Structure 1
Amino acid sequence: MDCKDQKKMWKSGMTLLACLSFALFSCSDDEKKVYVYSPHVSYAVSMGEASDGNIMTDKGNVLVPDESSVGHDLTDGERVFVNCSVLEREDEHTYRVRINKYYQLLTKEMVRASVSDDEELGNDPVEVKAAWFGGGYLNVRLGLEYNPSSGTSHLINMVYDDVKSTSDTLYLTLRHNAFADTVRTEIGTATASFNLENVVGETTKEKVYVRLRWQWYAPGGRLVTWEDKGYYYTSSTEEGEESGEPEESENSVNIQ
């Protein structure tokens, strides 16, 4: 299956299980996907992991922060989303950049359904605003109901159905525990990365079908199950990077 065919897999229409398409990129090109060129400077947004003061992006490029960077002291192993200006291309995969801002991303392991505490996981509504594969993770931008004045930290987990899943298909469910935070007060946003590699395991297959479900509102306010699905390419090194910034604003929800 080529890149065009793969992307088509994610453009499913709405059905009832209210299917919502979401972009899980595995074969986008770095230059085409994340860079916007001007006559003077290039800007980029990328996700990756900090290592020895640099950032290894999900596509395998190295971003070397310039001294002019804002908040460029990075902790090794920290997964981050960065907005930066490209100052110089040092070689094919290395860029010297000025970091304009960066956010530490919540990174979590999948929770196995067979050993999970269902009550602790919660069943509060959660929206998948965007999702994509990158760096061996399923990265998800979320919409959550919350009370801005409460300061409550919400619990988000990706549950892996280790009974129903096979070597060909992974069944995942996004779960949200708001800890009784006021419902339908305001919609906030958050971003998290969930480790896919540990549940894909030692499969020798080139691709695994991923099915993701979550509970959110349909038009009219009724809670329904939304679903989307597509292939995760286990052997591909050309995973996609998200092309927009995480929505860090006054509507950001604290999640754990």
Structure 2
Amino acid sequence: MSALLKKLKITLALVACSASFAVMAQDKLLVGVDTAFVPFEFKQGNKYVGFDIDLWEAIAKKMNVSYELRPMDFGGLIPGLQSRNLDVAMAGITITDARKQVVDFSEGYYDADLLMAVKSGDNSITKFSELAGKKVGLKQGTAAASFMKSKYKANYVEFPNIDNAYLDLQAGNLDAVVHDSPNVLYYVKTAGGGKVKSTGETDSILPQKYGFALQKNSSLTPKVDAALKALRADGTYDKIYFKWFNKQPK
């Protein structure tokens, strides 16, 4: 065997033994991101920040891949994957059987349920069943919206951007907003400014997992899963989680 051939075989073996989450460095992924879903992704100054943003940055480093964020309304993310205009989408996307028919999902990276936001002085709504006859804001195209419309009767108003629903609540145009618990809690704590409170904690419903969505049958899916597993093992996931939620994951 020539020295050149032996060297080539050794090089190929080293490549084969590299981390299972590695992707060719020259690949640039197009990553769809919601325009406003605090604290997971939202614009701060001239850049997007949040739990999803930090977690994806760590995943991309593990995979040795560069990427470009493509901000858009939530409703455009799944179609963007289906049309292959996006490689990955992140927006606190709930893993559902219906969505798994058309896109791939990573392993779940966050557990969430639903909460209600109401005006601070409103004590008439403490359970989801008390929304009957009320005007309720939902985020268009979400698992939360589908669930609420199928289970509870109310006068629903759907918004492409959940921030607009909160603004309508504060303006008195809505009686409540129903959305994923981390988003409701973060809004109440920050932009709510003492005018809005969360309710429904004792009536919590729809346990759900968020996952990164990818094109159907994407070769990236197992690599993202491997990177997530590595980040959990080395403590990076816990650090990012604590940064945004001020507590350790369960």
Report the TM-score range of the alignment, normalised by the length of the smaller protein.
under 0.3
Q: Taking structure 1 as the reference length, what is the TM-score of the superposition? A: 0.23
Structure with greater helix share of residues = 2
Q: Taking structure 2 as the reference length, what is the TM-score of the superposition? A: 0.23
Over alpha carbons, which structure has the higher Rg?
2
Structure with greater strand share of residues = 1
Q: Which has the higher contact order (CA 8 A, sep 6+)?
A: 2
